[in-house]
Structure 1
Amino acid sequence: MSSSFAELGVPIQLTDVLEREGKSKAFPIQEDTLPDTLAGRDVLGRGKTGSGKTLAFALPMVARLGRSGGKSRPGHPRALVLAPTRELATQIDAVIAPLAKAYGLTTATIFGGVSQQRQERALRAGVDIVVACPGRLEDLMKQRHVTLDAVEITVLDEADHMADLGFLPGVTRIMEATPKRGQRLLFSATLDNGVDKLVRRFLDAPITHSVDEVDSHVEAMTHHVFHVSGVDAKRQVVQALASGTGRRILFMRTKHQAKKLAKQLNEAGIPSVDLHGNLSQGQRDRNLALFQGDSHRVLVATDVAARGVHVDNVELVVHVDPPAEHKAYLHRSGRTARAGSAGDVVTVVLPEQRRETEQLMKRANIQVRPQAVSADSSQVKSLVGEVAAYVRPAEVAIRTSNPGPRRGAGPRQGQGQGQRRGQGRAGQERHSRPEGEHGQHSSAPRSSAPRSSAPRSASPRNGRTGNGYASAASFSSSGTSNRRSR
């Protein structure tokens, strides 16, 4: 049985906050690391996204600053978290903010793609905890808006993803600017691509804890491989899988196809939003808010949503386009079955993709028997569950332009919990695009196709095509990766 946070040594000021959020028992990564991190030791934590790492480092960080007391000087934060993407930085801050408030501490996010003026104001006001992406933080350091000589504790979160994005040289320079006497925590799913060099260089006799490594199984996650006969059958299966009442994420390989599929699902009466590198900051904010709310239950995304995006109660992940590498498969799949909840993962496979998908599953250490299906198959219908009511495309457009209250985006342990503190607090930005996507902004036009009020079913109706259904061309059948197009 897991330990309580109080039993692990978490101060009462913080356990009170956790109790109000319904958190009393620690997850394994928290139970393993907290005794060492609270004691001030350097720690290397290995665990995949969704395992509760955020709270594992947020608690000792806030507890350390709370114990030491004092006030941050302008431009001299006392704690630093480095994260690979803006989405992840935003969600980390949402976890830390209510804990920091218990001690009267302040937090701010720093990342690119938005004006840095608010971030400068936050630093001038004297912020205690900075959650940053490496690129913008280095810019502000060079401009002398921030100095890291007062940092008492530094956290590197998802260090392997920072390596994948090419951020390690910048991370190294940032770490060199922090005091050697400070506590350092590094959390990563793997130690490849140079992450082990960071560990050896910057962590002092670290205690290593490995929980839920990247290729370990999640008991509550069920994997399915659906073989389809061709592009038309794939189109029908994907639309059926998108038609249920619960939240689901559909992954595509390219920005163009993600945008196109979301539009076609909307025209079929399935409210959907897209998420990819061609969206502006405002569009990403809006689309994520819609997906977290009551109106749009389908998110069609590229791999930019495979890490650093957390939304509660995603019950199904569909690899519409199987990814090119097993790590991408595991990170995409990790958007469901998070923090103890259950979820299903489906990979839809065309005949020409079967061999490479079989190899992908072997590398991911996933053992699953492929099943030949159509949209009417019982295996598909069981994953669809209750079919959501048909929504006229005109009504979808109204909902998109007037997003309502968010659903299921409330606090949950380890990811994205806490009150949204962006109201009136300088330096805070929300739901941002990964920093690694440089300057790709464009407006995605919304469909104004003719509408129908006919009820929608899980399978194609009367063989009809056209506005109501995704065209065959909307589904990629290529077996090659297009990373530049994400």
Structure 2
Amino acid sequence: MAARRPHKTTPSNSSTSSNSLTFADLGVPGVLTRVLAATGVDRPFPIQAATLPDALAGRDVLGRGRTGSGKTYAFVLAVLTRLAAGPAPRRTGRPRALILAPTRELAAQIDAVMAPLAQALKLRTMTVFGGVAAGPQVAGLRAGVDVLVACPGRLADHVEAGHARLDAVEITVLDEADHMADLGFLPTVRRLLEKTPRGGQRLLFSATLDAGVDVLVRQFLTDPVVHSVDSTLSPVAAMTHHVLHVHVEDRFAVLVELAAAPGRTVVFTRTKRGAKTLTRRLVAAGVSAVELHGNLAQAARTRNLRAFSDGDVRTLVATDIAARGIDVEDVALVVHADPPAEHKAYLHRSGRTARAGAAGTVVTLMTDGQAPEVRELTRKAGISATTTRLRPGDALLRTLAPGERTMVPQPAPESAGPRHEAQAVRGGRGRGGGTPAQAASTRSAPARSGAAVFSARARPGARRGGR
């Protein structure tokens, strides 16, 4: 086991404005700044301006910031710059840098951000996570990789099987460490970190230091520089919050009016079944929607998220799997169809909008029975929400989600047999193919009316939807 490392933090002054700084000023090489500029990224966000100088100097860094603050570029640029400064031959199954992420979607997103930058430096990256065949991952590891982006469980399997070794890792990054704790990954993360060199650089990014994250910091980071940019529990100034007090029987109609507006909308439910059922009903009502939850095979999760990101569909119905790290541009509206179980989940869900300085709107649908829960939720989250009692057709709905409504109903099947259900779980599209929205419309049993649309069985403190 790795020796316990001292936890001597050096608080940083992260209030320095990044408006006047460039990435070149921070030490990022020209080959990378040119790639950034080509994608429209020319000025660092505060978390990047704060952490990059220390990370590039080889210091261990503990970065804390709210969701959407730009943490991915902060560590990706540091990792690639340091590896390029000391080129080394690739060795079978022995990556030089390791980035651990809690979910498959986040791992894929990190790799997508990093890929053009790594290519410019002639560095090779790859992802490792569950839900897909292990064979191609084994082949990629065997061919040699510079930066490995991985979820803890599948990487631990490869390490145990001898396909990967972590003794050559120079830099380790833990992204969304508190979410890894929430998902129960910390014991596996600890075992993986113990297999990395004791003198290696460690960068840890986390929204909070609770749930065991501080134990990781104390054990594995040496004299870390702490950079806190924005309180993780502070609301975003450009984000407006509304609570819509509705009758149970009106919830679906109100949601349809919001989701049928132009622009991207993310709708959150508490359960996987709730996301599945609600997606089907929205599609049947004519709303372009796909689902994202842990009961979908990885191919279906990837396809649905890509359809939403590319604009093929405008509404993503998700469990809390999408509450962290999923970065889709121009999400105008977040709707809590089911109020989350706790205030941190509310803030992370809401952070899918108003990202990178953009404005956004957050709406929570609340019935009479949920009023005490929602009041406590907003109080703990520290947000000021405007509460309005309304019915379908209220003018406020067009203020919250402006624009002409577009609805093209899709026919729903009378029933879904076992073969059809198995095909949906595998992520297959069936013989007829079809659009993602059409595929989503056939993934569950016929819709029920009224409160059953949402996660009606969910209650305060209930377990959130799985990955």
TM-score, reference length from structure 2: 0.87
The one-letter code of the counterpart of 2:334 is V
Counterpart of 2:399 in structure 1 is 382
Amino acid paired to 1:97: A
SS at match of 1:299: strand
1:65 equivalent to 2:65? Answer no
Q: Does 1:259 align with 2:276?
A: yes
**Map of 1:483 onto structure 2:** 463
Find the counterpart in structure 2 of residue 163 from structure 1.
Answer: 181
CA contact (8 A) 2:276 2:444 kept: no
Which residue does 1:177 correspond to in 2?
195
Select 1:474's aligned residue among 446, 453, 464: 453
**Structure 1 counterpart of 2:459, one-letter code:** G
Measure the CA separation in 2 of the matches of 1:476 and 1:162.
25
Contact 2:130 2:154 in 1 (8 A): yes
1:249 alignment partner in structure 2: 266
Q: Which one-letter code corresponds to 1:96 in the other structure?
A: M
Decide whether aligned partners of structure 1 residues 87 and 243 sit closer, same or farther in structure 2, where only a CA change above 3 A counts.
same
Partner of 1:47: 65
User: Which amino acid in the other structure matches residue 55 of structure 2?
Assistant: T
1:338 alignment counterpart: 355
Query: Displacement of 1:366 after TM fit?
Result: 0.9
Amino acid at match of 1:479: R
Post-superposition offset of 1:394: 5.3
Q: Partner of 1:193: helix, strand, or coil?
A: coil
**Which aligned pairs between 1:12-31 and structure 2 lie closer than 5 A?**
12-31=30-49
Query: Using the alignment, how far apart are the partners of 1:473 and 1:170 within structure 2?
Result: 37
What is the aligned partner in structure 1 of residue 368 from structure 2?
Answer: 351
Return the letter of the residue paired with 1:192: D
After superposition, give the CA deviation of every residue in 1:441-474 in whole Å (9 maximum; x if it has no partner): xx9771799xxxxxxxxxxxxxxxx98x964431
Contact 2:172 2:203 (8 Å CA) reproduced: yes
Shift of 1:40: 0.8
Residue 216 (1) aligns with residue 234 (2): yes
Instruction: Give the CA deviation at 1:403.
Output: 4.7
Q: 1:371 aligns with which of 373, 379, 388?
A: 388
How many percent identity over aligned positions? 55
For residues 168 and 140 of structure 1, the distance between their equivalents in structure 2, rounded to whole angstroms, comes to 18
**Aligned CA-pair RMSD:** 2.4
CA contact (8 A) 1:374 1:380 kept: no
What SS does structure 2 have at the residue aligned with 1:238? helix
8 Å contact 2:91–2:144 — kept in the other structure? yes
Determine whether 1:187 maps to 2:205. yes
Structure 1 147/232 Cα, relative in aligned 2: closer, same or farther at 3 Å?
same
Q: Distance in 1 between matches of 2:107 and 2:384?
A: 34
Contact preservation (8 Å) 2:105, 2:302: no
2:337 to 317, 320, 326: 320
SS at match of 1:370: strand
Which structure 2 segments of 5+ residues have no match?
Answer: 1-18, 413-428
Contact 2:273–2:455, Cα closer than 8 Å, also in 1: no
Q: Does the CA-based 8 Å contact 2:96-2:170 persist in structure 1? A: yes
Task: Report the AA paired with residue 383 of structure 2.
Answer: I
Letter in 2 for 1:145: H
- Contact 1:86–1:133, Cα closer than 8 Å, also in 2: yes
For 1:294 and 1:83, locate their aligned partners in 2 and report how far apart those are by CA, in whole Å: 26
Q: Are the aligned partners of 1:248 and 1:315 in contact in 2 as well (CA < 8 Å)?
A: yes
Is the Cα–Cα contact under 8 Å of residues 2 and 26 in structure 1 kept in the other structure? no
Residue in structure 1 matched with residue 56 of structure 2 by the alignment: 38
How many pairs are equivalent? Answer: 429
Among 15, 22, 26, the residue aligned to 1:4:
22
Deviations 1:326-346 (A, max 9, x none): 111111111111111111000
Please give the secondary structure, in 2, of the residue aligned with 1:23: coil
Describe the shift of the 1:286–1:380 C-alpha distance in structure 2 as closer, same or farther (beyond 3 A).
same
Residue 132 of structure 1 corresponds to which residue in structure 2?
Answer: 150
Quote how far apart the aligned CAs of 1:61 are. Answer: 0.3
**Cα distance, 1:57 vs structure 2:** 0.3
User: TM-score, with normalisation over the residues of structure 1?
Assistant: 0.84
The SS at the match of 1:146 is coil
Letter in structure 1 aligned against 2:249: D
- Is the aligned partner of 1:361 residue 2:378? yes
Q: Does 1:90 align with 2:69?
A: no
